Each structure stands twice: as structure tokens, then as C-alpha cells.
Amino acid sequence: MEKVVSILQEISKQESHAVMEISEVSMMQLQQKKDAAEKAKENPFADFNDLEILAWYIHEQKHANKENDRSMRTKKEYESEIRQFIAAILSHTEAIDVDIDEIRGQSLFKSLESRHLRRYQEWLMTESPYVLERGPYSPATISRKTTVLKSFFRYLYRIGYIQDNIADGLRIASVRKDDRPDRDLGPQDVVKVLRAFQNINHPVMFSIVLVLTATGMRNEEFCKLKVTDVKKDRIHGGYYLDVIGKGNKKRQIPLKQKAYDSIRMYRYARGLPALGDSESDAPLFTTSRGTAFSPSYLIAYMTKELKKIETELEGIEVKLTPHVFRHAFAITSRLGGADLFDIMRSLGHEKMETTMIYLEKVFEREKNAVNQWAPDALEEFL
């Protein structure tokens, strides 16, 4: 084991480079290396090392139009999950019981076997530092981590970089209905939040909550908005937002007049130029320092500001986050009679199943048999 640990530590020096910093030239060099191997009738990835194959997996351009490839956010998420896996294998080799008999081609990925992935998954869920300090990961987090690793190692097997489909060592980690966090927020709850911020004269949070709820935008979409994304609707009147969502997919979101007015109010409160006087590429919503929000900072800021009105939010049991107001959009839309397909498109979902998760409890109550009872089914007692 000591010899294996020593060799793995040597490999770790190769793994320490930041994949996300790889330049276009580097990707071109990898493409040239791949092409040369193909020309020599060899495995196209025969001369790649672990760092290079990881970079290729994350950054490979699969579509002629780059906009259809993975978004930068997805690339960062995949890289982060795989790097956490590598770091754990190299730092907790004995705890995970990475009993590798030999290091194949100075490659960690080629040396791993299915039992190592299974043991890693078990260690992650029961003995990892995060679990010991903070308690178990949520089922959704375990599912995400498992999905990324399965996808990566299946890819390595498919292209012939590794000999066996070791991804099968990872157990299925699905998220049950009851495991999902409660994110149901109805229109009455949103009104309570808006009124509370209005009462303490907090136009910044008032606008954030109203715009998130009235548009159904994702946290990241909200943070990326620029002044130029506010467009005049010359067909229906009013305004709409040009939004770039997951997978670089664009959609146009109508702005209710009061949501538009709240944006103007927000910018005035922050001391920002009016929409018509601002540079087009300036952030639409800024922090107190005048910079664009990051998704993590928006969550932190919202959490901090919500504490100012927590006594007014009695009865709201849901943890309020930007994503919860996206759920509120879906729920309010459905209660208003919106078609499920229209809600799906408005949210930018690719699959109807995702939208249905947002509306699970709404549908459950809608379909309850009691709703079919006649008003006088129990005479005067109903």
C-alpha cells in the first residue's frame, strides 16, 4: 500500500494543474495529438495523460455551433466534481481502501477498478470530512456527484482510454419524491415577503423578489442580466427580458409593468444610471459595490436581508432562496390556469418531467377525488 500511495502522490503533482485554465492553443494541440494517433491507426487517445483526457472531456467541442455545447457553468461543475474525486482518492487512499496492485501507464484513471469507485461512494456518504463535520449529503447532492462520475468513466471506457467499464461500480443514487427539499411557495407567501420588504422601505430586495417571481428566472440567469437585455416589446407593448439559460438557450421573458418599475426603483436606490442613460453592457442588477451579483453572493445577500423581516414571515416554512421564487412562478402560473407545456417553456426546461417536479403537490391536490364532490354532497355540512 505504501508504494501505491507514493506513486499516487507522484501522479497528484500532474493532477494539480487547473483544467479550466487550458487555452485554446492547448486544445488545438490535443486535437493535433489525437489526429496524429488516428493517422497512425492507433487509439486516438493513446498518448493522452490523465490531465489531458480530463481537459478533453470537459472542453471538447461536440457541436459545430459552440453555443450548443456545455455551458461554462456546467463545465465548472463537472470539473469540480471530478477534481474532488481525484483529491479524495489521492488524499484518503487508505481510508477509501484504494488497493491498486499496479499503476498502469502512470495513470490514476487507468489504474482504478470498479471496487474503488464503489468504496469511494461509500466513503463519501459515511466517512468523508464533510459528512463527519456537517452531517450527511442530501440525496440530490449524492445523485449529482454519482451522475458526473458515471458519465466521465463511461466516456473513458467508450473511447478506449480505460479497459473496463468501472462506472458500474457506482451504485444507483436516485432522488425519491420524499427526499426533495420543500420548495413550494404560493402567491400568498410571495405577497407576504413583498409586503414585508415594502414596509421597511427596502426597494432592492423588493425588486429582486418581484422580478425572480414574475419571470421564473434561474439564479444564474438573473445575475447575468445586462441593461441591454431589457427590450421594448413592439408587438404586445411593454417590455421583455432577453435571457440566456442552460445550454446557452435563449428565451424572451415578458416583464410585467410593476416588475419593470421595480427594476427602475432598484437602480435608483443603488445610485445607478437610469436604463436609458446606462451603458448597454452594464449589469442590470448590482451589489452595493456596483458589480454584478454572483449566484452564490445573491443567495448569501438574500439570506442576510431576509433576517430583517423574519418576524413578518411567520407561517412560511420553506427556506427562501432565489430558486424557491422560481418555483413560485411555476405554482402561480398553474394556479392561474397556465398550460403545463407553456410553464415548461417559460422556465426554460427541456423535459416536462422537470416541470412536473415543480408542480407535484399542486397536481396532487388538483387530482384529489374530493374536488369532484358536488357542493351539497354532505348537505349543509360541506
Amino acid at 131: V
Integer angstrom CA distances of residue 328 from 10, 184, 188: 51, 7, 10
Residues 194/334, Cβ–Cβ less than 8 Å:
no
Residue-level pLDDT at 371? 80
Residues 150/127, Cβ–Cβ less than 8 Å:
no
* Ordered strands of the 250-255 beta sheet: 230-232, 239-244, 250-255
Amino acid at 121: Q
pLDDT of residue 355 exceeding 50, the answer is yes
Digit-coded pLDDT (tens) for 168-189: 989 887 655 554 555 789 999 9
**Which ranges of 60-138 would DSSP assign to H, the alpha helix?**
72-91, 93-96, 108-111, 114-126, 129-134
Rounded Cα gap, residues 285 and 260, in angstroms: 12
Q: What percent of the chain has a predicted confidence (pLDDT) above 90?
A: 56
Classify residue 170 by its DSSP letter: S
Instruction: Report if pTM > 0.75.
Output: no
Nearest to 197 by CA among 208, 184, 185, 186: 208
Comparing 24-33, 86-95, 235-244, the range with the smallest average pLDDT is: 24-33
Cell of 102: 499496479
Average pLDDT of the residues of the chain: 87
pLDDT of residue 58 exceeding 50, the answer is yes
Residue with cell 416589446: 233
Residues 76/20, Cβ–Cβ less than 8 Å:
yes
Cα-Cα-Cα-Cα dihedral sign, residues 150, 151, 152, 155: positive
pLDDT of residue 76 exceeding 90, the answer is no
Nearest to 215 by CA among 381, 348, 317: 348
Letter string b/e over residues 168-188, b meaning 16 or more CB atoms within 10 A of that residue's CB? ebbeebeeeeeeeeebbbbee
Rounded Cα gap, residues 325 and 219, in angstroms: 10
**The domain over range 187-366 is classified in CATH as 1.10.443.10:** yes
pLDDT of residue 233 exceeding 80, the answer is yes
Rounded Cα gap, residues 48 and 159, in angstroms: 12
Q: Provide the pLDDT confidence category of residue 207 given band limits of 50, 70 and 90.
A: very high
- Mean pLDDT to the nearest integer, 194-214: 97
Digit-coded pLDDT (tens) for 279-294: 999 999 999 999 999 9
- Listed by start position, the domains of the chain span 2-176, 187-366
Query: How far is residue 190 CA from its own chain's centroid?
Result: 23
pLDDT of residue 5 exceeding 60, the answer is no
- Mean pLDDT to the nearest integer, 2-13: 54
Max mean pLDDT among 25-34, 181-190, 236-245, 348-357 falls in 236-245
- Mean pLDDT to the nearest integer, 88-116: 86
